[in-house]
């Protein structure tokens, strides 16, 4: 069984999409499938996707009903034990991130970590998640999708 389905959604963010695809395809961990859902971009995104056709398991470029519709289209294609939403512009901070995450061999429903926030002006900060996610934490904050591996079941 595939351990991970990485899902990237995109709409007219060719530069961000390129960065995200390179981040995923350069991983040392290979037990993943890569799904790209593009909302019918007209900025060259489709051509970028096509240039990685051998490294992308499934992709589509067509008009959709927005972010959540695109995410759900990705989930419908997913076959991995876990899903990770790494949307266009998001990136894994090094080429061993997935290897390190799945070396833990957790069976948790959600595996999550901290997030490096790139403010785009040369400044980066680390966003820290609590050691334990509680209902209160979810009510007052969020679970960051680029660092949350959620069991597909």
Mean pLDDT value of segment 33-38: 98
Mean pLDDT value of segment 21-46: 97
- What is the residue-wise DSSP string for 59-103? EEE---S-HHHHHHHHHHH--SSEEEE--BTB--SSTTHHHHHHH
**Percent of the chain, pLDDT > 70?**
99
pLDDT band (50, 70, 90) for residue 90:
very high
Residues 86, 74: contact at Cβ < 8 Å?
Answer: no
pLDDT band (50, 70, 90) for residue 53:
very high
Nearest to 84 by CA among 152, 16, 139, 23: 152
Mean pLDDT value of segment 35-52: 97
Residue 110 confidence (pLDDT) above 80:
yes
pLDDT band (50, 70, 90) for residue 126:
confident
pLDDT band (50, 70, 90) for residue 20:
very high
**What is the model's pLDDT at position 91?**
93
Query: In whole numbers, what is the pLDDT of the chain averaged over residues?
Result: 92
Chain segment 94-104, per-residue pLDDT in tens? 999 999 999 98
pTM: 0.91
Mean pLDDT value of segment 67-84: 97
Q: What's the CA gap between 71 and 150, in Å, rounded? A: 13
Mean pLDDT value of segment 103-132: 83
**What is the model's pLDDT at position 1?**
67
């Amino acid at each position: 069984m595939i351990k991970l389905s990485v899902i990237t959604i995109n709409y007219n963010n060719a530069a961000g999409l390129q960065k995200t695809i390179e981040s995923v395809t350069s991983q040392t961990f290979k037990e993943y499938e890569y799904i790209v859902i593009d909302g019918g971009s007209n900025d060259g995104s489709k051509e970028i996707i096509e240039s990685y056709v051998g490294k992308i398991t499934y992709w589509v470029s067509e008009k959709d009903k927005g972010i959540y519709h695109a995410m759900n289209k990705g989930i419908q294609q997913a076959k991995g034990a876990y899903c990770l939403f790494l949307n266009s512009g998001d990136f894994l901070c090094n080429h061993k991130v997935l290897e390190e995450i799945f070396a833990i061999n957790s069976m948790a429903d959600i595996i999550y970590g901290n997030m490096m926030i790139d403010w785009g002006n040369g400044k980066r900060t680390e966003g820290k998640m609590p050691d334990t996610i509680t209902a209160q934490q979810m009510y007052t904050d969020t679970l960051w999708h680029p660092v949350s591996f959620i069991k597909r079941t």
